[in-house]
Amino acid sequence: MELASDWSITNKFQSVLHIGSADQDRFPNILFNPSQYGSGLHVAQSYGDCSPSFCQWYLGTGSFAAAGGTYEIKVVVENNQMTVYIDGVNRGSKSGSATYAAANAAVYVGDPWYDAAAVTLSHICLKEIVYPSPAPVIVYVDREMSWE
């Protein structure tokens, strides 16, 4: 993510990336915090249909950014825990309710609910972490078998 040379923290959320088809569906979303909430990224995981209100857990990264700077942002959501890395450094983790796996969710660069951040994104990669399947089980049969 490259920040524009005139980028700055403002008094509004500035959207970078949003995965989800509604404002409260964040699988996750990445925004810059308004100045009144402190500087840095605000990364949230939530699901709007969660009872009684909506389930949300989020992490603020603290200040790290400078106008014109380029940063590698990595968000890993795994086993109900979200970890945010900036330039390979773990900036924090947050645990929450069960991670909802949305099917056919919209992916926005920016989003329709907040002003877009003055950033350029490149090399956007969304991927599922797939764990190796269990080792194959070999069954030995103690008699002759015919495949005729």
Indicate the range of 55-59, 87-91, 92-96, 102-106 predicted with least confidence.
Answer: 55-59
Q: Tell me what the pLDDT averaged over the chain comes to.
A: 76
Q: Is the pLDDT of residue 21 over 70?
A: yes
What pLDDT, in 10s, does the model give residues 57-85?
777 777 777 888 888 888 888 777 888 88
Report CA dihedral (42, 54, 106, 4) to the nearest 10 degrees. Answer: -20
Q: Is the pLDDT of residue 15 over 70?
A: yes
What pLDDT, in 10s, does the model give residues 37-50?
767 788 887 766 66
pLDDT at 49: 63
State pTM to two decimals: 0.74
Average pLDDT over residues 88-103: 77
Report CA dihedral (120, 71, 40, 112) to the nearest 10 degrees. Answer: 30
Average pLDDT over residues 25-35: 82
pLDDT at 134: 56
**Tokens representing 93?**
């983790």
The full 3-state SS of the chain, as one line of letters, equals: CEECCCCCCCCCCEEEEEECCCCCCEEEEEEECCHHHCCCEEEEEEECCCCCCCEEEEEECCCCCCCCCECCEEEEEECCEEEEEECCEEEEEEECCCCCCCCCCCEEECCCCCEECCEECCCCCCCCCCCCCCCCCCCCCCCCCCCC
Q: Is the pLDDT of residue 93 over 60?
A: yes
